[in-house]
């Protein structure tokens, strides 16, 4: 087992600070909560459940203990801000003419 390897691991326990994983039969690992997403993680259960078998990247190896990353393989697509027409553009563009025409009609 070496750093950078992609491994399959089974989630064995979930704690507020991370999830414990069994990799093969000889390694145990931890996915720290900060390794689930680049954003705020309210609950690890939003990403995984006990018993799930998932792909992970090995960040660090010490004896038979692994430090693992979920987010390195499961990046969410970035959302881009798109400016949409609010529907008020015709109002903005035509309001002055409408007011002018209204005033002309009311003067009659």
| DSSP symbols for the chain | --TT-EEEEEEEEEETTEEEEEETTTEEEEEEGGGS-SS--S-GGGT--TT-EEEEEEEEEETTEEEEESTTTSPPPPP---PPP-S-HHHHHHHHHHHHHHHHHHH-
pLDDT level of residue 30 (50, 70, 90 thresholds): very high
pLDDT at 106 over 60: no
Q: What is the pTM of this model?
A: 0.68
pLDDT level of residue 70 (50, 70, 90 thresholds): very high
Map out the domains of the chain as residue ranges.
6-69
Q: Report the percent of the chain where pLDDT is more than 90.
A: 54
CATH 3.90.1300.10 corresponds to the domain 6-69: no
């Amino acid at each position: 087992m070496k750093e950078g390897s992609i491994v399959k691991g089974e989630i064995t326990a979930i704690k507020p600070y991370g999830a414990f994983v069994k990799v093969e039969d000889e390694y145990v690992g931890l996915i720290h909560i900060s390794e689930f997403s680049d954003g705020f993680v309210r609950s690890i259960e939003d990403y995984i459940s006990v018993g799930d078998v998932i792909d992970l990247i090995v960040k660090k190896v010490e004896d038979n203990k692994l430090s693992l990353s979920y987010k390195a393989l499961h990046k969410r697509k970035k959302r881009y801000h798109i400016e949409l027409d609010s529907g008020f553009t015709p109002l903005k563009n035509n309001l002055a003419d409408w007011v002018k025409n209204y005033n002309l009609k009311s003067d009659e």
